[in-house]
Amino acid sequence: MPARRDELLELLARYREGAIDEQRLLERMRDLGVDLDEEPGSDDRRVWIDLLDRYRAAEASGAETLRRWAELTSDAALAGGLRAAAAREAAHAELLAQRIAELGGEPSATIPDWMASFNAALVDPGATDEERLGAVVAQFRDVDAALAPLREKIAGCSDRLTRALLEAMCEDEEVTLRWFHRACDKLRSNDS
């Protein structure tokens, strides 16, 4: 990618200097794989709206699940951490809904069935906190690997506002996941 970018920058510089005409510039850009017939931003915008909407649905569902879990637990420290995590998730959902609207979309996504089942298990009144924490840690065993897909999307985002929102959310997600790991370790060490 850097070589292609360098070639494009060189082409633009040559065009600005008058060394090549517009027709030659366009031909060389096509040779480099630039799609000049693409409607600028329309498909990209739709793709980002859909992605943000899926994230929004997951964040809203996560917020509700964590809020309900906080009500179920008798562990005050765990309840406090769950409330804080739920507040972050709810704030993310709200920010994503706002950004979707700014991009011309309307939030409508729902969470996938596997996520609905996972969340339902976390708020099953018959489950213990150790089982719930264990399920979260098992689902997100490697925090960096869990966040890698989001980080890849962020790296490919050219919209500065969307990128900044996702970067901040990714940092929050890392805080939350690492908190879950610590809470699980603490609960398990208290049981031994």
Domain boundaries, the chain: 2-31, 42-191
| Assigned token pair, 26 | 């366009």
Mean pLDDT (the chain, rounded)? 90
pLDDT band of residue 9 (cuts 50, 70, 90) is confident
User: How would you class 192 by CB atoms within 10 Å of its CB: exposed for 0-12, middle for 13-18, buried for 19 or more?
Assistant: exposed
pTM: 0.77
With helix as H, strand as E and coil as C, how does 159-173 read?
Answer: CHHHHHHHHHHHHHH
- State residue 40's pLDDT score: 40
Predicted local confidence at residue 12, as pLDDT:
73
How does residue 140 score in pLDDT terms, banded at 50, 70 and 90? very high
Say what percent of the chain tops pLDDT 90.
72
Quick: pLDDT tens for 56-67: 999 999 999 999
The class of domain 42-191 in CATH terms is mainly alpha
Q: Say which residue, 131 or 29, is predicted with more confidence.
A: 131
Scan for tokens 């500065």, then name that residue: 160
Q: Please give the C-alpha separations between residue 111 and each of 1, 50, 61, 62, in angstroms, as whole numbers.
A: 34, 13, 8, 10
DSSP E strands, the chain = none
2 band by pLDDT with thresholds 50, 70 and 90:
low
Region of poorest pLDDT, from 38-52, 74-88, 149-163: 38-52
C-alpha 38/C-alpha 136 separation (Å) is 42
Average pLDDT over residues 16-23: 77
Residue 3 has pLDDT above 70, yes or no: no
| pLDDT in the model for residue 43 | 61
